[in-house]
Every structure is written in structure tokens, then in C-alpha cells.
Amino acid sequence: MIKREFWARFSRNRLAMSGLILVIGMFVVALAAPWLAPYDPDKINVKELLMAPSYAHLLGTDTLGRDVLSRIIFGARISLLVGFVAVGISTLIGVLVGALAGFYQGWVDRILMRLVDLMLCFPVFFLVLAVIAFLGPSIWNIMVVIGFTSWMGVARLVRAEFLSLRERDFVVAAQSLGASDTRIIWRHLMPNALTPVMVSATLGVAGAILVESALSFLGLGVQPPTPSWGNILTMGKDNIEIAWWLSVFPGLAILVTVMSYNLLGEGIREAIDPRLKE
């Protein structure tokens, strides 16, 4: 019944449905990249350097004659991989920290929340830049670093939910029956606290994709020849006056992807709590 009401509210939101359709489309493109891409994304063709969009190359070619459309399609895989792995890491850490702080309170809560406050003192992007510069550019380093520097918001959300839920009758009943803390946390509290986490995770994917694109643009992210929207933009920056398509099309890919996840996240938030529209 609850699922049916949620879907009824969500489906009435045209912007949210648009976001969902775009997200699904992005998944399809990423999974079917070997079949959708018209060319090998890494194939160099010195006879077709910086060709403008045409019938042969719908989005043009880059400085090495590689097909931009094929590289954008394969770049979707990198963006989604980074987004979901990084958000998975940050959500796991945030849920654990928030659950412990909200359930045990006292000195546990004070220590963990001071850790959250300490992490929030650092500008996340510059912290990521510093760590990546130290560890070296690598897709795995990027995912881990983004995940380990973006869990604080999830921790606060889960803590707030636990503080509200731990005084409810069903928790008191479970404690009176002798249920262990672990069982109460994971069986009774956690399922009721994950709703805002789902919204945060959806919005977090968009943020992780933006950070990865920015790092790749600066040369500290995914390294060529692996295609990434960010490193395509770097090539576009160096040839902006003669090859506008190297900047416009990957930029549009980033814009549409981030916008679709934001629309989806806001749609989920409004469907969960329709009072937000009032």
C-alpha cells in the first residue's frame, strides 16, 4: 500500500519522471556502450583530426582523430562507476557513524559528531585534490577518496532519525524483551531510518560525478586514453577556438546527467513527504 502511494505521488511529478527516464537511459547507454558506440573510442586516426560534427562523426573528432560520440558513450561508464562506488562507500560509513552516534548517545555521540564537525571544516573538493595529488591519479583512488570525504551528511541524517526513533514504543518493547543492541539497530531502527538516506544517496551520485569530472579536467582524475567526460573537456579547453564540439558535448553530458539525478532525488523526497510541496 505504501509503495503504491509512493509511486502514485512520484509519477505525478513530471520533473521527477523525466529524471528517472534520463537515469534509466544513462544506464542503458553505459551497459550497451560496446554496441552503441559507432567507433572504437581509443582508435587514433591522423587523417581525421579535429573534424567538425558530420554524418560520419556525429559529434566530431578530437585532436587524435578519435570519435567524440564513442568516447562520450564509454565515458558514461566511468561516470556511473565512480558515482555509485563512491556513494556506496560514503553511505556505508555515514550509516555506521550515524547509527552508533544516535543509538548510544553520550560520549560516543560527542566523539563521533566532533569527528563529523572536523571533517566538515575542510572544503571537500580541495581535500580530495590534496589526497589525489598525494596518492596519484587513478579511478580507484578517486572513488575511495570521494567516498571517504563525503559521508558526513549521511551520518547526520541517520543520527537524527535514530534520535527520533529510539524513544518509540516498538524500540522500548524490543529492549524490554531482551533484544541485543545489534538486533535493535539493524532489525528495528535501521529499516525506518533509511528513507532520507536513499534521497541523499541519489543526490550524492550527481555530486560524485561532478567531482570526478572536475578532477579529470584538471588532469588528476581518469587518465587518457581511458575516456572520461572530464578529460574530453580538457582537450576542448586547449582547442576552444577551433573545436567547440569538444567542450559543448561532454559538458552537456555532465549537465544532463547531474540534472537528472537531482530531479530524481527531489522527486523521491517529495513523494516520501508530500508536505514539502506545501
**Average pLDDT of the residues in 195-218:** 87
Among candidate residues 124, 198, 187, 103, the one with its CA nearest the CA of residue 154: 198
Who wins on pLDDT, 181 or 257? 257
The rounded mean pLDDT for the chain is 86
In terms of pTM, does the model score above 0.85?
yes
Indicate whether 2 pLDDT > 70.
no
Band of the pLDDT at 88, cuts 50, 70, 90? very high
What CATH number should be reported for the domain whose range is 2-38+65-277?
1.10.3720.10
In 34-58, which positions are buried (b, 16+ CB within 10 angstroms) versus exposed (e)? eeebebebeeeeeebebbebeeebe
> Cα–Cα distances in Å, from 119 out to 159, 164, 261?
16, 24, 25
Rounded-to-integer distance, Cα 234 and Cα 207, Å: 19
Q: What is residue 278's predicted lDDT score, i.e. its pLDDT? A: 47
> Cα–Cα distances in Å, from 166 out to 92, 105, 194, 195, 246?
20, 11, 14, 16, 53
> Cα–Cα distances in Å, from 1 out to 5, 10, 267, 276?
6, 14, 19, 21
Indicate whether 217 pLDDT > 50.
yes
Q: What is residue 274's predicted lDDT score, i.e. its pLDDT? A: 56
Band of the pLDDT at 21, cuts 50, 70, 90? very high
pLDDT in tens, 112-155: 999 998 888 878 788 888 888 888 778 888 888 889 888 998 99
> Cα–Cα distances in Å, from 193 out to 102, 114, 197?
11, 22, 7
Instruction: Return the amino acid letter for 177.
Output: L
Who wins on pLDDT, 128 or 21? 21
Domain ranges for the chain, please list them: 2-38+65-277
Band of the pLDDT at 59, cuts 50, 70, 90? very high
Phi then psi for residue 67, to 5 deg, are: -70, 120
